[in-house]
Amino acid sequence: MSLRAAIIALPLTALFASGCRDSMAAPQVSWRSVQPGTELAILTPQAKASGPLHVVRVDARRAKVGMALSSQEKVPARTAAEWCRKAGLAVAINAGMFQTDQRSNVGYLRHGQHLNNKRWNAYRSVLGINPKGKSLPAVLWLDRETSQTDPRLADYDVVVQNLRLIAKSRRNVWSPSVKRWSEAALAVDSQGRLLFLFSRAPYSMRDFNAMLLALPLDVVAAMHLEGGPEASLSIHAPGIDLDLAGSYETGFLPNDSNDRQWPIPNVLGVMREE
């Protein structure tokens, strides 16, 4: 059975029309298992200007979430598909925007003892995964409202700071804008599951956030990972081989011409089950 035949697409236009945020009232999402603790859904808007929203839902208590970093592996940037092959990942998405050195994350980023970027900036979304103790939550998601570092992050093997999209109060923090781009993002639901999100269709971030909050995905908070042609999502597991690349970005590539994944230095992913 083909990937698309195995997944029931959910029209998004009806959700926008109703403005519904109640997951009990909205149509339910059909999930396909990728591997234990990891599921995929493809939600397809009916509007001609829109495209599918790919969602990978990850229960970090059952699936091993990890990272692959050029700075740690001492290799050049790779595409998300190449990171899957080289780093043993079933799923790979951008870990965040990166600096001109083609290695360092724009926000703080630590993987184990390796510091990709030791400097905290003004970004207000912080994720901690892979706790050092079994009694700790599998996912620690913080809204960083002050310059102080939360001491709980020391108990997590992976810590990454990125630009906030949705505050933990389910609050859309972006103002209206004419700027649009393809989007790779990360969200968390009320059960602490991570949502890897990819839309090649360009949105303003306020509209993208509104879409997420209207969908029956139970999104509690979200962070921006990357936009435009560098936004990427790859899934390589039994029965699924999917490599997605963004394109449109206002002021950089204002069209849908990009047909390949661009190399990216840092990815967040799910380790492949052997």
Residue spans per domain, the chain: 4-271
Of 234, 246, 230, 245, nearest in space to 93 by CA: 234
Average pLDDT of the segment spanning 154-163 = 97
Q: pLDDT band for position 45 (50/70/90)?
A: low
Burial 59-71, CB ≥16 within 10 A → b, else e: bbeebbbbbbbbb
Q: pLDDT band for position 146 (50/70/90)?
A: confident
CB 4 within 8 A of CB 198: no
Q: Is the pLDDT of residue 105 over 50?
A: yes
3-state DSSP helix/strand/coil percent for the chain, to nearest 5?
Answer: 15, 40, 45
Q: Is the pLDDT of residue 96 over 80?
A: yes
Q: Is the pLDDT of residue 18 over 70?
A: no
Q: Is the pLDDT of residue 16 over 50?
A: no
For residue 241, the model assigns a pLDDT of: 96
For residue 3, the model assigns a pLDDT of: 35
For 168-184, write each residue's pLDDT tens digit: 999 999 999 999 999 99
pTM value is 0.89
Distance CA 121, CA 266 (A): 18
- What type of residue is 146? T
Q: Is the pLDDT of residue 159 over 80?
A: yes
Q: pLDDT band for position 111 (50/70/90)?
A: very high
CB 172 within 8 A of CB 187: no
Of 203, 148, 200, nearest in space to 178 by CA: 203
What SS3 class is residue 188?
A: strand
Of 223, 139, 151, 209, nearest in space to 177 by CA: 209
Q: Backbone phi, then psi, for 71, in 5-degree steps?
A: -65, -35
C-alpha dihedral (115, 120, 124, 130), degrees to nearest 10? 20
Choose between 163 and 9: higher pLDDT.
163
β-pair type (38-43, 53-58): antiparallel
Start-to-end CA distance of the chain, whole Å, equals 22
For residue 158, the model assigns a pLDDT of: 97
